[in-house]
Structure formats: structure tokens, C-alpha cells
Amino acid sequence: MVVSGYHAWLVSLIFLTAAPLMAGAACLYRARRGNYRRGWIALAVAMLLWGGGMAGNLYSGLLLDSWSGVGTFSMLLFILYGVPLILVLAVPEREHWLVRLIDAALALGLGYLFFRHTYAFAAMAEANPENLASLRSMFDIENLFIALFALIRFHTTADPAQRRFFGSFAIYAVLYLATAAFINHLHSDVYYGHWPDIAIGLPFLMLGGLALDDASEGDEASRASVSFEQAVRVGGPLMLPAMLLVVSAVLVRSHPVHAIAGCAAAILGYGFRNIFVQVRSLNAHDQLERLTLVDALTGLANRRQFDASLRREWARAHRTGEGLALLMIDVDHFKLLNDSFGHPVGDRRLHDVAQALAACATRASDIVARYGGEEFVAILPAVTPAQAMLVAETMRTAVARLGLRSPAPLGHVTVSVGIGHIDHVADGDVGALIAAADAALYEAKQGGRNRTMAHPAAPE
């Protein structure tokens, strides 16, 4: 710039166009290495937009030789520069593509409204210094917001690659905030081609250097509390609609139609986003709850669900005065089967036996569960001893008819069944029913296996 004389402005504009483009290229290089690709690509897109806006100024200066102001297209690119930055700060990782699409639409709407607001202020700023001051303050607020949230994300991120990215982003954002404030408030009336232009390029050069730095991310953990980290993750998506509402409120007088559209987009967009996220969360919760109550091998209720169900049916029988039966079912000679055929075969035999037992429990109130190892249980509410014996025999014969090969004396898999039954639940504990079923199972196994025995429960 010193030696180019009259053409210093051209040198300056080329530098200010090249600096963000080089920073964007460095961010793409970092993204190709697989270290938090989403973030580095977002920064690269932002650099491309900023460099494109400056290239528009360069084009205007070369062809029009006029410094009447930034063109509409260049200003739009400068405004859109913040959209990918806000997206990477506001949208949590691993979101569904539809959620990301909604967030992207909100970010684009925010960029458009901000453009309308900025363009209107820029047009009025030439005649009114107060409008120019408002325009500068608005840019300060946007840059401050991006810098603060980048620092928060850095402080609350534990993943090394993401922490490295948000650390670099925060350094760039703080430097850009200071540089933009310096230029906008102290040197806004100085044309291109003077020494303050060097300061404009410094944040981009710093970002390029950080992106090209091959130092290891390290394994430093987040210093923030878990509750604060969770609050940032949950509250981050609110940033986009909140900003959209603020900008829409500012536009009410100058562009009422755009303001109403912005408010509607913010409310509906965030509402649809919340509905979709909540539905996915409920589905995940239901699936997780099911996993905690279902035995993975057999698909039956697990021990936890059995314990809760037995207490519930015991209390119901106490209220209604109806009988309650508990069947304890044990696969005969299962250790011999496992030792002879191996555990994979043993697991398949348990699965097949479980399905046969479940098919015999035809009432909706009947519950068949895996009790542990090769032992199963069945809860039969509101049955008589004869009805419980009929279900137990049906289960025993159903397993025998499967003809599952086994090294047991009979050559196929069989089960022994013990029945505990109580006619009327008065006081006492459910342990009496379990003890009765266990005693009956012991008698069935001692009696030769592949048989059913019953034992009345004695109230404690």
C-alpha cells in the first residue's frame, strides 16, 4: 500500500478479499483431516461469504470507480456470513436431518431480516448520524453475541476435537469483535488503502494459522459443571428463534410484513422443532425403558419387571380376594446341554423354550418372565389350583413337543414346573408364594424331572 500510491485501495481490497478466502481454504484443509468436520466447514463457508462480499467491493471499484457505498449484493453476503457461524454455535451435534433443516431455515430467515434491517439503516445513515450509530451498535451486538457463545461452547465442550475447534473459533471471534469495533467506531470514514485495513485482515490470518496448526487436540476435559453444560446444550437451539423475534420486533415500523413473517417463522419453526425433538425423545425413552424391563436373550420380561408385576398382582389379589398362582419353570439338565453343545446352542434353546412358554400364557393378565439362568416364572392372576395346573401342564408338554435335541436322558429338552398357589391374600408377604413355588419345583426335580408339582402357599 505504501509503494502503490493511488492504487493503494486496489492492493488493500485484494488483500482483504484474499485473507478470508485463504482462511476458508485452511478451514477446509482442517475439515478434510476429520477433526470436527461440521464446524470447520461452517467456518469455511462463512469465510467464503465474507470474501465474496469484499470481492463485490473490489468489482464495484474496478468497474464503476465509485465509492458510493457497499452494493446490495455485497451487503447481503456480509450479513449471510453470520448464518453458518450461528448454526454451528446453536445447533447441537447429532441432530436429525429434519431438525437441522428447520434450524437452517430459521438461520436463513434471520439473515434475510437482518439484511433488510441493515440495508434500511444504511440507507438512512447518510442523512442521520443516529441511524449510523444504531447500525454500528447492531453489528457490535451480533459480533459480541457470536464471541460470547463461542467462548461458552469452548468452556462446556469436553470432546478434544470440538474443544480445539471452539477454542480456535473463540479466538477468531474475539479478535474479529475487537477489530470490527475499532474500524466501525474509529475509522469508518477512512477509505480503503490506509493502514487500518491491515487490522481488518488480522482475524482471518489468525484463523488460518489456527486451522493449519497441527498440534494435538489433547485430552483436556471440560471445566464447566455438568448442569451448565447441559443447560447450554438444551438452550442453544433457542438462540435462533430468539434472535429472529428480536430482529422482527425492530422491523415492525419499517417493514411490518417482514416483521410478522419473522415472528411467525420463529414461533412455528421452534414449535415444529420442539415437537419433533420431543417425539424422538419419547420414542428413545420408551425404547430404553423397554430394554430395562425385557430380557435381551429371550424377549420375555426380565427379573426387574417380574418383581414389580408380582408385587402389583399380589396387591390386586389382596383387594379382590381372588386366587393367585406362581409357576417356577426350570430347564432340565441345562448345564449338561451347555457343556456338551456349547453356550451358543444353549442360548438358542433358552430362546425357543421362552417362546413356547409365552405362547401358552393366553390371557392378557398372565406374565411370563425369565427369572435367571435357565429358570423361568409365570404369574397367573385370578386362577384356581386346577386352572394353574392346566396351564403348567400345557407349558411342559409344549416344550417337550418342540423336540429340541439335548444330551439329557430323554434326548430332547424338557422342563420341570413348580406351582405355588394362594386362595386368598390376606396379610403377609409375597415371599410366601415364591417359597411355595420354589418348594414345588424342588419336588418336581427330585421326583424325576419333566413333571409338574403343586404346593400351597402358607401365609406368613
Q: Phi and psi dihedrals of 422, rounded to 5?
A: -130, 130
Which residue from 172, 204, 199 is spatially nearest to 188, judged by alpha carbons?
Answer: 199
| 324 beta partners | 381, 422
Q: Which sign, positive or negative, has the C-alpha torsion 382, 386, 392, 398?
A: negative
374 is catalytic: yes
Find out whether 406 and 345 touch, Cβ atoms under 8 Å.
Answer: no
Find out whether 450 and 415 touch, Cβ atoms under 8 Å.
Answer: yes
Place of cell 409357576: 327
Which residue from 136, 143, 225, 234 is spatially nearest to 188, judged by alpha carbons?
Answer: 136
CA distance 204 to 172: 7
Amino acid found at 388:
A
Find out whether 322 and 382 touch, Cβ atoms under 8 Å.
Answer: yes
Place of cell 448454526: 87
Contacts of 252 (CB under 8 A, 6+ apart): 259
Q: Which sign, positive or negative, has the C-alpha torsion 146, 150, 156, 157?
A: positive
CA distance 24 to 42: 9
Burial label for 36, CB within 10 Å (0-12, 13-18, 19+), is buried
* Active-site residue, from 374, 375, 443, 460: 374
Q: What is the DSSP letter of 329?
A: E
Catalytic residue list: 374
